[in-house]
């Protein structure tokens, strides 16, 4: 294990802890908090990667996903916001995960002609930001206007190659690594948001043998998936390959919050009727995978590459 840990360093992509460098302007979390409380106008320029930004960022930040600001691709992401930054003379607070990429962002923006007296780096980066009241997340979002719940997730290419019964599972759950899509937000929050949306849970299954062969009940949901650059939403069913007969996906709000709390599996969407997953596919009865040999895997011809952040959208469907 020691050798593996040493090798991790060799594999590159190290992260450096923040050390305030001379020649750069810094702002402490306390100072920034007081400015936010006073509603002072400023630009919060966030360079966290998409996954980290979705999990949490300072409210009102502009996302650039430019971290670690080392490649041309990273700098191109910053270049996209430069015209917007030049529209005014407001102070720009650069928010980095730990601070390592912030100085490179600072240098890049200064090189693009933005006055250095406008540029400030948040000391300690977002990792050292203690004020939860100024943090927003996009991992699970309830959009009442659109009538949908959106969950950010990461593609797991392992299940393009091997089989699973899990469609979408929260990374913090015990099954977090066992799904085609690893969710960034909690299944419990997702459950509560579906209730707020007005969906009715079935709660008709239990994790005992007598329920094998039963189908999950509850409100029917349309489930779609999209990601940056796709430009459209596609049905989640297109992204999943089934063995045997291809049945159309019928995702229902099973509920199951008691068992979700008890087992803490993180299951958001199961590919067969499930007594633990918050939603699951009613086309396949409980036990389809374990007892009837049904197999599911991600469709690599449809889904983007491993690690891509996708948004899974849940809307109430008409029966």
For another protein, the binding residues (CB under 8 A) are 1, 3-4, 7-8, 10-13, 15, 49, 156-158, 160-166, 175, 177-178, 289-290, 306-307
> Is 194 or 205 the residue whose CB approaches another protein more closely?
205
> Is 7 or 38 the residue whose CB approaches another protein more closely?
7
Tokens of 80: 């996209």
Phi, psi of 181 (to 5 degrees): -125, 125
**What is the nearest approach in angstroms of another protein to the Cβ of residue 180?**
12
Separation between Cα atoms, residue 46 and residue 209, nearest integer Å: 50
Separation between Cα atoms, residue 219 and residue 198, nearest integer Å: 9
Separation between Cα atoms, residue 60 and residue 272, nearest integer Å: 39
Q: Do 183 and 168 form a contact (C-beta atoms < 8 A)?
A: yes
Please tell me whether the peptide bond between 68 and the residue prior to it is cis, using omega within 30 degrees of 0: yes
> Is 148 or 281 the residue whose CB approaches another protein more closely?
281
Other C-beta atoms closer than 10 Å to the C-beta of 229 total 7
> Is 10 or 38 the residue whose CB approaches another protein more closely?
10
**What is the nearest approach in angstroms of another protein to the Cβ of residue 3?**
5
Residue 66 neighbours by CB under 8 Å, 6+ apart: 47, 74, 75, 77, 78, 101, 105
Tokens of 72: 């041309």
- Segment (H or E) for 82: helix 82-85
**What is the nearest approach in angstroms of another protein to the Cβ of residue 13?**
6
What is the DSSP secondary structure assignment for residue 304, as one 8-state letter?
A: P
**What is the nearest approach in angstroms of another protein to the Cβ of residue 309?**
13
Q: Tell how strand 148-155 and strand 179-183 pair up.
A: antiparallel
Beta bridge partners of 235: 224
**What is the nearest approach in angstroms of another protein to the Cβ of residue 171?**
9
> Is 31 or 177 the residue whose CB approaches another protein more closely?
177
> Is 199 or 239 the residue whose CB approaches another protein more closely?
239
**What is the nearest approach in angstroms of another protein to the Cβ of residue 97?**
9
Separation between Cα atoms, residue 311 and residue 141, nearest integer Å: 10
CA distances from 86 to 66, 80, 110, 244 (A): 18, 12, 11, 57
**What is the nearest approach in angstroms of another protein to the Cβ of residue 210?**
20
> Is 118 or 154 the residue whose CB approaches another protein more closely?
154
């Amino acid at each position: 294990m020691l050798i593996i840990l040493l090798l991790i360093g060799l594999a590159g992509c190290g992260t450096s802890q923040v050390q305030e460098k001379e020649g750069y302007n810094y702002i402490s979390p306390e100072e920034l908090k007081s400015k936010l409380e006073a509603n002072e106008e400023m630009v919060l320029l966030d360079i966290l990667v998409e996954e980290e930004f979705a999990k949490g960022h300072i409210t009102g930040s502009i996302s650039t996903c430019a971290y670690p600001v080392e490649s041309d691709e990273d700098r191109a992401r910053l270049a996209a916001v430069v015209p917007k930054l030049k529209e005014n003379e407001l102070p720009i607070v650069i928010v980095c995960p730990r601070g390592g990429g912030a100085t490179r962002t600072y240098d890049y923006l200064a090189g693009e002609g933005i006055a250095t007296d406008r540029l400030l780096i948040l000391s300690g980066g977002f990792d050292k930001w203690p004020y939860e009241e100024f943090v927003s997340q996009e991992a699970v979002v309830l959009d009442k206007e659109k009538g949908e719940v959106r969950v950010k997730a990461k593609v797991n290419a392992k299940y393009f190659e091997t089989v699973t019964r899990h469609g979408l599972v929260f990374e913090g759950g015990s099954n977090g690594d066992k799904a085609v899509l690893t969710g960034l937000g909690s299944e419990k929050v997702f459950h509560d948001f579906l209730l707020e949306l007005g969906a009715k849970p079935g709660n008709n299954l239990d994790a005992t043998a007598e329920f094998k062969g039963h189908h999950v009940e509850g409100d029917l949901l349309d489930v779609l998936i999209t990601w940056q650059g796709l430009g459209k939403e596609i049905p989640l069913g297109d992204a999943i390959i089934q063995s045997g007969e291809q049945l159309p996906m019928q995702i229902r709000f099973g509920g199951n919050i008691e068992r979700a709390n008890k087992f803490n599996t993180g299951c958001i969407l199961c590919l067969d009727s499930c007594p633990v997953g918050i939603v699951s596919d009613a086309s396949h009865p409980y036990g389809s995978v374990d007892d009837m040999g049904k197999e599911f895997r991600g469709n690599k011809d449809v889904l983007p590459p491993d690690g891509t952040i996708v948004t899974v959208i849940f809307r109430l469907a008409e029966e």
